[in-house]
Structure 1
């Protein structure tokens, strides 16, 4: 248990309020939210708190009570985290990258030449995942169609989003813009003109799978591809987090995560904050892959391709192939 004394609680809440005022992407909301924390501290809201995890949960509830921003949190970490900006985040990312195959837990060929690339739980910084991610993207490059499974993708790095899109567009494409409060500047994110190895490209069918758990950078990748007309989305509405955050350690086990920027679509100036991203084809998340697979098979079968995969897709849709699975006859 990470026990807290009353004076520690006061300091943590006051520091979180200050950080919210100083850095939250919408200054007026930051001031209002900080005032809520101050009022609730004075009213004894946290008087019965005895440990860091409990305090984190209560303060997060209060932080999000003003405008519902789910990136705005006082996040508890069971392990001690460094006292540097984003130190807790980088520690967490390193741990998760080591236990999730670098965020690429599944690469698979389905029947009919449809590939599945699952990206979860995080779109890790390229410094952590470049080799693994590149290998996965190279493997699916020759597929007739591709499913990006983002149903369990809860965040990540916008540079990684851009890198992935480099394999999904033929030409450099403006994907997203981030407005930063501190510098009052905008940074554009483009898909890169060159990527290592073969690319899937911009002309073949692409589907994205989502769930309500899809969040933050997972949503950005979904939104970019949908807004630009590159992919159809299958599943359910996403979580609705479009304001990237920075982390500030306010206790060895507590990180104040403060949204410091906001996303701006180059297509229409919008983003997905609070609203989430509505799927093009709404299904239960567990059924999204099958729905996307069948739709992609129909596209492949209707094409003029004479590949073995296209022939397989036509056989499946005609009912002469066994099923939608991945098994093949022995040789």
Structure 2
């Protein structure tokens, strides 16, 4: 019994201590505020990207403390707001904010508090959805993406790919960043990569720690369809901040998009959140952005749109311009399709023993790379020239090209084998029928029995 009573006493003592600590949220002592200011000053001096400004900021908030400026603030929420205002009045850095913890019900450092925090974070993560708020196709075949943040790349990539897939066939795209407060530079880099071809230097981030610079270039591949020449429009507002500004600035300086809306918030210094104590934390910028074209960034000035309109008019204006852009894009594609297909048809007009096979492959490859023809369409084209136009050698060249462009297609090899069989090239035909069966087995194709039967007939015919 004595052991049990001691345990109960210890538990009650710890609980009372936690309640006392937690009660600081309603009444803040002078000593508590002094300790917060000292810790905040140390963190700024250790981490802030501009050490000289950190020192000036420290001197200012300590002077304010001595004058009693912070005496009037009796809760962590009001104290955090006051500290933020004082800090920003010196460094003019909108990234640096002192924040209070959410109003949890359970006392700090208890199992109940840990569970409450976990549930809160899970709920927030699900609702946030990696920042992807809405996606739809508007009138005029215009893709619209409402993006509220750039979450960590490892978490957000799959969702980004899924959303981009839904607008991959649109003729213009609007990305709405009017409610986007920023996020992970890697996620900015990845989404930018959807709209560029090749290696483009987008941005660099210099960090005080280690005196290092990280360059961000477009990625050669994304897990989706790139939209490298689709007209792009970006909506901004005063709330557009940090990573969302980088996306806008990248697109503006590369002349890849039209920015519509209002001048953005003006925060270009990346960093991270660190705790001051159990109740307060601070976001400290540890680096700065350096654009490869302007050699500067948008800190303090924001990204200025090419087309300035009020927040209420931004969407309608963007949609109006996007529809015009989509019409122009379709006309451009029409000309491209006409020229490309005319070139292809000219190569299929007459068989040339020396050049036809090479020329047809090059032309079909060009069509494929431009997204104008797919594997099944090449296959159908081969049968059209074999059956309707009675141009067997041209058809065999088309079938062969298809196996080179789509080396994993069992159907492609089966069709090529059929064409070779009609030409009387039995050994080569059987070789390709076997390849079709092999690929079909690897792919668990439902047409495996068809390919096996075709192989069997070819062997019998030989």
Confirm or deny a common fold (TM above 0.5): yes
Equivalent runs, 1:31-46 vs 2, <5 Å: 31-46=55-70
Q: Summarize the Cα distance change of 1:43–1:95 in structure 2 as closer, same or farther, 3 Å threshold.
A: farther
Q: Distance in 2 between matches of 1:266 and 1:79?
A: 43
Task: Determine which structure has greater relative contact order: mean sequence separation of CA pairs < 8 Å that are 6+ residues apart, divided by chain length.
Answer: 1
Query: What residue is the counterpart of 1:162 in the other structure?
Result: 189
SS in 1 for 2:274: strand
Q: Does the CA-based 8 Å contact 1:97-1:128 persist in structure 2?
A: no
Task: Name 1:108's counterpart in structure 2.
Answer: 136
The alpha carbon displacement at 1:108 in A equals 0.7
Distance 1:181 1:289 in 2: 39
Shift of 1:10: 0.9
Pair 194,112 (structure 1): closer, same or farther in 2 beyond 3 Å: same
Q: Is 1:56 matched with 2:80?
A: yes
Question: CA–CA distance in 1 between the matches of 2:119 and 2:195?
Answer: 30
> 3-state DSSP class of the match of 1:153?
coil
Q: Please state how far the C-alpha of 1:100 moved relative to its aligned partner.
A: 2.6
Task: Give the match for residue 30 of structure 1.
Answer: 54
In 1, the alpha carbon distance for the partners of 2:179 and 2:280 equals 24
> Paired residue for 2:169?
142
- Displacement after TM superposition at 1:305 (Å): 4.9
Aligned residues: 298
| From 254, 260, 270, the counterpart of 1:244 | 270
Q: What residue is the counterpart of 1:117 in the other structure?
A: 145
Structure 1 gaps of 5+ residues are 83-89, 308-331
Judged with a 3 Å threshold, the aligned counterparts in structure 2 of structure 1 residues 178 and 94 are, in CA distance, closer, same or farther, namely farther
Give the drift of 1:267.
0.8
Mapped to 1, the partners of 2:304 and 2:124 lie a distance apart of 28
Say which of 258, 271, 287 aligns to 2:284.
258
- 1:223 aligns to 2:249 (yes or no): yes
Q: 2:318 aligns with which of 272, 292, 295?
A: 292
Structure with greater proportional helix content: 2
Alignment partner, residue 127 of structure 2: 99
- 2-side partners of 1:92 and 1:27: how far apart? 35
Question: In the alignment, is the contact (CA less than 8 A) between 1:150 and 1:210 conserved in 2?
Answer: yes
1: CA distance, partners of 2:279 / 2:286: 22
> 1:9 is matched with which residue: 33, 37, 51?
33
Tell whether the 8 Å contact from 1:215 to 1:238 is kept in structure 2 after alignment. Answer: yes
Identify if the C-alpha distance between structure 1 residues 306 and 247 changes in structure 2 by more than 3 Å, giving closer, same or farther: closer
Cα distance, 1:268–1:190 mapped onto 2, change above 3 Å: same
Aligned counterpart, 1:235:
261
- 2:209 aligned counterpart, secondary structure: coil
Which is richer in strand? 1
Quote the residue 2:366 is aligned against: none
Structure 2, unmatched stretches of 5+, are 1-22, 110-117, 335-462
Structure 1 residue 186 and structure 2 residue 213: aligned?
yes
- Report the secondary structure of 1:66's partner residue: helix
C-alpha contact 1:79 1:253 (8 A) present in aligned 2: no
For the residue of structure 2 that corresponds to 1:129, the secondary structure is: helix
Aligned-partner Cα distance in 2 for 1:298–1:135: 26
Q: State which structure, 1 or 2, has the greater radius of gyration over its C-alpha atoms.
A: 2
2:308 paired residue among 273, 282, 285: 282
Aligned residue for 1:32, secondary structure, equals helix
Match in the other structure for 2:10: none
Alpha-carbon deviations, 1:93-140, whole Å to 9, x = none? Answer: 7654321332111111011111001111x2110232222111011221
Separation in 2, partners of 1:40, 1:149? 41
**Structure 2 length as normaliser, TM-score?**
0.62
Task: Give the superposed CA RMSD.
Answer: 2.1
Q: How far did 1:165 drift?
A: 1.0
For residues 190 and 77 of structure 1, what CA distance do their matches in structure 2 show? Answer: 36
Change (3 A) 1:94 1:161: farther
Structure 2 match to 1:312: none
Give the distance between the partners of 2:316 and 2:228, measured in 1 at CA. 23
Q: Are the equivalent residues in 2 in contact too, given 1:238–1:276 (CA < 8 A)?
A: yes
- Indicate how the Cα distance of structure 1 residues 226 and 95 shifts in structure 2: closer, same or farther if over 3 A, else same: farther
